Amino acid sequence: MADSVKEQITAAVATALAAITAANGYQITVSEVVRPRRTGENYNPKGYGIAVIQGAATRAEDYCLASNPPIIGWQLAVACDCVVRLSETSETAMDTVLNEFEACVQKCLMTEPTFGGLAISAELGPVEYASGSGGVEGVTVWIYVTYRVSEDDPYEQR
């Protein structure tokens, strides 16, 4: 069975992020892009790794259309959790490293904001910093992807 449009978009975000490499013109090279379990089981973040976590999909009423069947617009939130492991002896400021990682992720996500035609558009959301109390330093870059499907078939991209 084919994947739902929501799943295809989330997978496309992960695939796009895997292209963040120095060879592709970015300032950093990501070590991994994963879609971990929501409970965090068996997930051991690597430095310069990105965890893609699908958030809520909310109705995008401006993109709903009357037709047969009706077309429903959705906006999907996707969190891109970027993990940094910086040596305690490094003289580079952590914010400098996080700013660079954040910029690379934002640039990558906006390179092709329709993700191969699956989405109508995408926009960057807020940036959140890890509290540090969990022993992991990083930044979360949110992206909001707007797409449409048939009301009676979430597998049919419209």
Distance, CA of 146 to CA of 138 (rounded, Å): 26
What local confidence, expressed as pLDDT, does residue 127 receive? 96
What local confidence, expressed as pLDDT, does residue 135 receive? 67
pTM for the model stands at: 0.92
Give the residue numbers spanning the domain of 64: 5-157
**How many domains does the chain contain in total?**
1
Domain of residue 72, CATH code? 3.30.2000.10
Distance, CA of 82 to CA of 157 (rounded, Å): 29
What local confidence, expressed as pLDDT, does residue 79 receive? 97
Mean pLDDT within 66-90:
92
